[in-house]
Amino acid sequence: MDLGLKGRKALVLGASRGLGRAIASALAAEGATIYAAARNAQSADLADGVIPVTLDLSDRNSVDALTKRLISEGGVDILVNNSGGPKPGPAAGQDMSAWASAFEQMALSIFAITDALLPAMIARGWGRIITIGSSGVVQPIPNLALSNGVRGAISGWSKTLAAEVAAHGVTVNMILPGRIETDRLRELDANKATKTGMSAEAVRKASHGDIPAGRYGTPEEFAAVATFLASKQASYVTGTQIRVDGGLVRGF
């Protein structure tokens, strides 16, 4: 199937590893030109058709410099908003500066990038804004209060924006990973192992047991959903959240 991505330009944030890297590779394989953003641009040097660019989501000057450059190069058709996840920890007693920095890196920076790149999409009458969230938006994950809280705000923003730009041919959606096997997931499992005294293998086995599919997802399975949402075929899909979680979340 031709997904209509040849010749499209995409900016993928957090593209040096994990979900962002897999999405950048999948879109590049469909013939899109990718700006792959990472704090260290060299780490996002993936393949032909991929242009590594520097971006630190915690630094507004870095955000402004990149958006200015992209606007001067005609903007992008597809924006994949992805960021590093915050440190684990509870809601009670959480440091206010940790809330502020998580909000800056995960929410304000992507709001600013989207706002800067949106006018060119509207002018062309075609755009795809895809934001990576978490299953914690639907069912908050214990001990990930910063992630659960900030992503709730992003979810409200994404849904509001979708209705504002739908008539201009710009779709705005979120993909919610459950447990996809990336370095971050391995780090969270190691953190749990240290906290509980269980072995990393026992943590992993117990975690697989919570998932109806009986395993973690792969970054490639996740990226396939992002690629569909970026495609021409997904033109009437907007304002949605698609979970990629092997059935982990039991609610609708």
Interface residue list for ligand NAD (CB under 6 A): 14, 16-20, 38-39, 55-58, 82-85, 105, 132, 134, 147, 177, 179-180, 182-185
To ligand NAD, the closest distance from the beta carbon of 50 in angstroms equals 14
> Which C-beta is closer to ligand NAD: that of 41 or that of 166?
41
Residue closer to ligand NAD by CB (options 25, 82) is 82
CB of 153 to ligand NAD, least distance (A): 14
Closer residue to ligand NAD in complex, CB, 35/165 = 35
Shortest CB 222 distance to ligand NAD, Å: 8
Q: Reduce the secondary structure of the chain to three states and give it as a string.
A: CCCCCCCCEEEECCCCCHHHHHHHHHHHHCCCEEEEEECCHHHHCCCCCEEEEECCCCCHHHHHHHHHHHHHCCCCCEEEECCCCCCCECCCCCCHHHHHHHHHHHHHHHHHHHHHHHHHHHHHCCEEEEEECCHHHCCCCCCEHHHHHHHHHHHHHHHHHHHHHHHHCEEEEEEEECCECCHHHHHHHHHHHHHHCCCHHHHHHHHHHHCCCCCCECHHHHHHHHHHHHCHHHCCCCCCEEEECCCCCCCC
Q: What are phi and psi of 57, to 5 degrees?
A: -70, -15
User: What is the closest distance, in whole angstroms, from the C-beta atom of residue 174 to ligand NAD in the complex?
Assistant: 11
Q: How far apart are CA 49 and CA 77, in angstroms?
A: 15
CA distance 23 to 36: 10
Closest approach, Cβ 234 to ligand NAD, in A, equals 20
Q: How far is the CB of 158 from ligand NAD (least distance, A)?
A: 14
Residue closer to ligand NAD by CB (options 168, 181) is 181
- Residue 87 or 159: the one with the smaller Cβ distance to ligand NAD is 87
- The least CB distance from residue 185 to ligand NAD, in Å, is 4
In terms of CB distance, is 182 or 238 closer to ligand NAD? 182
Q: Looking at beta carbons only, is 82 or 165 nearer to ligand NAD?
A: 82
